[in-house]
Amino acid sequence: MTEIILVRHGQANSDAKDEASYDRLSDLGRQQATWLGEHLKSTNPHFDHVVTGTLTRQADTARAMGFAITEQDKRLNELQYFAMALALEQQHGTPYPQNVSDYVNHLPLLMDHWQRNLLDGIPERFDNFTARITGLVDELCGAHGRVLLVTSGGVIGMVVRHILALDNAATSRVMLQIMNSSIHRLHYVHGQLMLGTFNATPHLDTPDRAHARTFV
């Protein structure tokens, strides 16, 4: 059996307006990651591989968790939301979201335009994004062991889409629910990839850590 533990990075710079500025953990993000690492080490600390994307916030989350990174794989890198949001605004007149409520409505529109190839000049096409993620997951399913993948919400959402055969609207709703430093467990058994756990935050479930349950 193969067990894959997906972790979303800790809270990043939520005030950012571009990819580079977003790609660093906030102080709370580092604390979330530290708590998660403590939880994993107190339950089942062994991983055969610890893999992150090449983004700073992903690698720093793994380090704050206290795990040595065995490999970095750019297939775990996040979709480039800021670039696509700019293209959506310039090409289709959809304004950039100004708050969380705006973002909840913006993401499904962006996903729809992205999937239908209605955005020009963007860094990555929807089909390419999907293929790199599913390709990595399929590779891992062909091996045995326990693997920790530290990645981002968009990547995790696409993995869930792949497993459950979700449509675009459902995928957007899944992505909007993925919390910072959340855990998602996949099991490959009997030739099938199964979703065992989605969006768990056992390290944040005590009342004194309620403030640390963040989405952005």
In tens, the pLDDT along 141-185 reads 988 899 999 999 999 999 999 999 999 999 999 999 999 999 999
Instruction: Compute the mean pLDDT over every residue in the chain, rounded to the nearest whole number.
Output: 96
What pLDDT is recorded for position 143? 85
Strand 192-200 to 183-189 pairing? antiparallel
Q: Residues of the chain with pLDDT > 90: what percent?
A: 92
In the chain, the amino acid numbered 57 is R
DSSP 152: -
Summarize the confidence of residues 14-32 as an average pLDDT: 93
Six-digit token string for 32 = 């979330």
Question: Residue 86: CB partners within 8 Å, gap ≥ 6?
Answer: 96
Alpha carbon 67 to its chain centroid, in Å, reads 18
Return the pLDDT at 34: 98
Does position 27 have pLDDT exceeding 90, yes or no?
A: yes
Enter the pTM of the model.
0.96
Whether the pLDDT of residue 100 is over 90: the answer is no
Structural domain boundaries of the chain? Answer: 2-78+126-212, 80-123
Please give the class, per CATH, of domain 2-78+126-212.
alpha beta
For 191: left if phi > 0, alpha if psi spans -120 to 50, otherwise beta; the answer is left
How large is the average pLDDT for residues 69-89?
A: 97
- Which residues, at least 6 apart from 45, have a Cβ–Cβ distance to it below 8 Å? none
User: What's the helix, strand, coil split of the chain in %, to 5?
Assistant: 50, 20, 30
